[in-house]
Every structure is written in C-alpha cells, then in structure tokens.
Amino acid sequence: VGGKVLEQFKKITHRSPMLSLANAFNEEDLRDFDRKIVEVLENSNVEYDCELKIDGLSLSLVYENGELQYGATRGDGSVGEDVTHNVRTIQSIPLRIDYQGSLEVRGECFMSKATLEKLNKEKEANNETLFANCRNAAAGSLRQLDSKIAAKRNLDTFIYTLVDPQRYGVTDQIQSLEWMKEKGFNINPYYRRCSTIDDVINYINEITKIRNELPYDIDGIVIKVNDMRKHELIGW
C-alpha cells in the first residue's frame, strides 16, 4: 500500500526501494509460486521462511557506528517521511546497538489490541472519534508532529529485514532474524523454517487457528525463499 508523504515531514529517499509483496490467496497460488521458483533455480530443494505479516506501518531504521540516525516511513517505496522524533519514543527500538559501521533494518510499527482498546475508551470518554483499527491507530500515531502524543500511544515494532545482509556475513533470512535479535531488535517469535511448500501450508493452517488469540493484528503470512543469495536469480 503506497503512502502519500505529508508536506510537514522532511522527505527521506530510501537507500534501496521498500518493495511491496505479491499476493497468494489459496493453496493453488502457493503451489504455483513454489513451482515457478523450483523451475528458475532448477532445484527442487527450496527452503522457505514463513513469518507473520504484522498489520501496521512499514519502517526503515538507519544506524551509523551503533547510533540511530533516523527512522523513516515507507511512503511510496522510494521516498518516505522522517519520523525519527517519534521513533525515539518507541521502547522496542534501540537507540544504540553494538555495531560499528553503517546498518539499515526494516520492520513494522504496530499497536497492540490492548493499547487500541484503552485509547478508544479514553476517546469515547472525551466524545472523540474512535480509531477504526490497530493499523490506522499506529499510522496516525507514528505520523504525529508532536512526539509527546506518539510517546503516549505505546507503539511497538517487529523488525524483519536486514538490508544488504551479505555485508554482515548473513546469507539466509532466518539467520538475519537471529543476527538482528542479538543486536537488540524486537523479532516476532512465530517465524519458521519450512523445507517444502507442504510445510508452508501446514504453518498457515496452524497460524489460522490462533490468529484471533494473538495480541496484535496480522493480515496474512509472508513467505520468503530462505537463502537470500538466490533472490537475485529469482527476481522481485
């Protein structure tokens, strides 16, 4: 979903585009996805990584020599909004990490169901318009000009992308998640290594059963070829 960059925010051009995802709506689509990848790689042993698709707002975080330089929204994928003043209020985002050099990670800023319920009770008591859902609440909170408002909204993050992973000796997605977790980033625990597309489908069925019990909203499952060295061969 593209986002219009508001004039009130400083614009940030992403170092590499923040791309969108292709959709699969049923088992047939998934098997077709798998078949195409197997054909391109000429290898039937394709390992996948499955993760929850958190329903929030995409975020890029850039660090230099261990210090957070800025946080930016996805915007239109090429240019986003500088929301560093609000990012610094989110407790799950480290302001400093143990790494010398340049580092960019990406993830999702979201609001929990419990926080949304609490905020809407406050709004109702004040005869204010309620937030429609967690995603709208998170987006509206992260794009506040006043960081004091954002700080009160109890936003959270899950980080899921290490940009240019091979610079850090990381070659697969699950390894990148574990590498980022070691650096202090908040990683969603529901990721899973899947050896076959049947394993992927089983994972989806398992998550479907517990989806409503999760403390945050999801709007699907993200499926990635685990070996990131193969991504250039497969294409985007």
**Residue 146 DSSP class:** -
The 3-state DSSP composition of the chain as helix, strand, coil percent (nearest 5) reads 35, 25, 40
Count the neighbouring beta carbons within 10 Å of the beta carbon of residue 26.
Answer: 8
Residue 155: both structure tokens together: 């936003």
Distance CA 167, CA 146 (A): 36
Longest pairwise C-alpha distance within the chain:
61
Please give the positions annotated as active site. 53
Distance CA 9, CA 58 (A): 16
Distance CA 9, CA 33 (A): 38
Assess contact for 68 and 77: CB atoms under 8 A: no
User: Please, is 19 exposed, middle or buried when counting C-beta atoms within 10 Å of its C-beta (0-12, 13-18, 19+)?
Assistant: exposed
Distance CA 164, CA 185 (A): 17
